[in-house]
Chain A
Amino acid sequence: MCVVCGCGDEQAAGHGHAHDEAHGHVQIDPLKGDLHFGAGAARVSVPGLSQGRAIQLEADILGQNNRVARRNRAHFLAHGVTALNLVSSPGSGKTTLLCATIRALQQRAPQLPVAVIEGDQQTSFDADRIRATGAPAVQVNTGRGCHLDAPMVAEAFHQLHQHDHNHGAAHDAHSLLFIENVGNLVCPALWDLGEAAKVAILSVTEGEDKPLKYPDMFAAATLMVLNKTDLLPHVQFDVARCIALARRVNPAIQVLQLSATTGEGLDAWLDWLLALQPDDLPGGLAATAPMHGPGCGHHHG
């Protein structure tokens, strides 16, 4: 049997899935020829294989991740840690924003410890940049993986924690943990890491229509940060339209505009961060993230 389309073996000769169209897996826009995968009708159920034994599983596919994420969340709470999951495309300026944020917090709230977990497929370049600010950082290389998952964050938090213990740092004062996810606007939307909130960063050098092109991520985010606003005079980016599109997929999404390089707008971002409390949990934040309604427990478990 062909697992891609479910057709029988007798059809399999010379069959390289170019037959998708015939099977209705893909809808083709008759005017523009655009391809819409995933728009097809639900697949037809094949009637029973009577010799078999049926087992009801009813199991959440992300259940294991979500159990670890809940443990992370409890662990963070016990240590007074507010964790934020920073998500964006590659090149939106996440690491630059983090470095600027850490330096500004060192001035404005020197008593507030800040640590960073850096996710990338390869290299420790980003963690090195963070460590240069004086903040502790752990690099997580995902190899071929396209997102961080809750067990990776549990391991990384353990590393940070060990490191702090070795250095005799005090632990239960309120602190911030930034988790910089792999640059990818698709996959990280699904994996709860135990964070208090997801922050989606979008730079004005990208398209203003990204919130609608990558709706799952903006639906999952509590805050959208529009970065690189110093470049607005040089690019075509309609800020109002971008915000309107983000609110189509998430009517309650909060929005901040800033430039990590000039520092413009950074104060409002620091205000937002400093207003967070260690017991801010997605349960409470969920009220402001309406695309996660009932029946969606796997996102914020």
Chain B
Amino acid sequence: MHEASLAGGILQLVEDAARREGFQRVTQLRLEAGQLAGVEPRALRFALEALAPGTCLHGCTLLIDEPPGQAWCLPCGASVQINQRGDACPHCGGWQLQATGGTELRVVDLIVDGD
């Protein structure tokens, strides 16, 4: 549900950029939503689709990269990959993990026209 608020935040960032950079239309928008960011990419797409008509995002291609979850395992003293919070370390099976990557939630770049 919070993806609707995030979509609003994305539109705001893009509209600010449109004013600053002087473009009318976005043809491609690339986002990054890490696997541990607490965001469901499918819901985010849906929310952006609902929001897009009448804005500079209408009809744009939406790319959502999902950087994998990375965590530091204290017992192993190593960086490991996890798919979600609550997963065990793939090496030692423990849960002494500190998330270090895959928490990104960003607008990466745009391709625009109409300037």
Asked if A25 is at the interface (CB within 8 A of a chain B CB), the reply is yes
B78 located at the interface, meaning its Cβ lies under 8 Å from any Cβ of chain A in the complex: no
Contact A53 B13 (CB under 8 A): no
Contact B110 A54, beta carbon cutoff 8 Å: yes
What residues of chain A lie closer than 8 Å to B36, measured between beta carbons?
291
- Are A61's CB and B86's CB within 8 A? no
Q: A258 to B63: give the CA distance in the assembly, Å.
A: 47
Task: For A26, give the chain B residue with the smallest CB separation.
Answer: B42
CB distance from B17 to the nearest CB of A (A): 6
Bound Cα distance A211, B85 (Å): 10
How far, in whole Å, are A83 and B112 apart by their CA atoms in the complex?
A: 42
Please determine whether A293 and B99 come into contact, CB atoms closer than 8 angstroms. yes
Give the Cβ gap from A260 to chain B, nearest Cβ, in Å: 28
The binding surface of chain A is classed by DSSP as loop
- Bound form: Cα–Cα A187–B39 in Å: 9
B96 within 8 A of A: yes
Query: Contact partner of A62 among B9, B64, B99, B111, CB < 8 A?
Result: B9
Q: Contact between A55 and B61 (Cβ–Cβ < 8 Å)?
A: no
| CB neighbours of A20 from chain B (8 A) | 42
Query: Interface range on chain A: under 10, 10 to 19, 20 to 34, or 35 or more?
Result: 35 or more
- With A52-B112, A52-B113, A53-B113 known as contacts, the answer to whether A61 contacts B42 (CB < 8 A) is no
In the assembled complex, which residues on chain A have CB atoms less than 8 Å from the CB atom of B30? 45
Residues in A46-69 with C-beta less than 8 Å from chain B: 46, 48-49, 51-65
> Main SS of the interface on chain B?
mixed
Q: Evaluate contact between A147 and B5: CB separation under 8 angstroms.
A: yes
CA gap between A95 and B100 in the complex, in Å: 35
- Chain A residues with Cβ below 8 Å from B46 are 3-4
| Complex alpha-carbon distance, A62 and B13, angstroms | 10
Instruction: Verify A251–B111 contact, CB threshold 8 A.
Output: no
The answer on a CB contact under 8 Å between B113 and A212 is no
Choose one: B28, B96, B107; the contact of A61 (CB below 8 Å). Answer: B107
Q: What band does the interface of chain B fall in when counting residues whose beta carbon is under 8 Å from A?
A: 35 or more
Closest chain A residue, CB of each to CB of B62 = A3
**Is A292 an interface residue when CB atoms closer than 8 A count as contact?**
yes
The docked-state distance in angstroms from the alpha carbon of A31 to that of B63 is 32
Given contacts A248-B86, A292-B99, A293-B98, contact A38 B108 (CB under 8 A): no
Beta-carbon contact of B98 and A291 below 8 Å: yes
CB–CB A1/B59 < 8 A: yes
- Which residues of chain A come closer than 8 Å to B97, judged between CB atoms? 251, 290-291
CA distance A39 to B17 in the complex (A): 32
Contact with A along B84-115 (1 / 0, CB 8 A): 11101000000111111101111111111101
Chain B contacts with A in 59-75, Cβ cutoff 8 A:
59-66, 71-72
Q: Is the CB of A291 within 8 A of B85?
A: yes
Interface assignment of A298: CB less than 8 Å from any CB of chain B = yes
Does A190 lie at the interface of the complex (its beta carbon under 8 Å from any beta carbon of B)?
A: yes
CB-CB nearest 10 A-B residue pairs? A3-B49, A187-B2, A52-B111, A215-B85, A216-B38, A290-B98, A296-B103, A248-B95, A293-B100, A146-B1
A-B contact pairs, 26 of them (CB 8 A): A1-B59, A1-B61, A3-B48, A3-B52, A4-B46, A5-B45, A6-B45, A38-B42, A43-B63, A45-B30, A49-B111, A51-B113, A52-B113, A54-B110, A57-B108, A58-B106, A58-B108, A146-B1, A147-B5, A190-B105, A219-B85, A245-B86, A248-B95, A290-B98, A293-B99, A298-B105
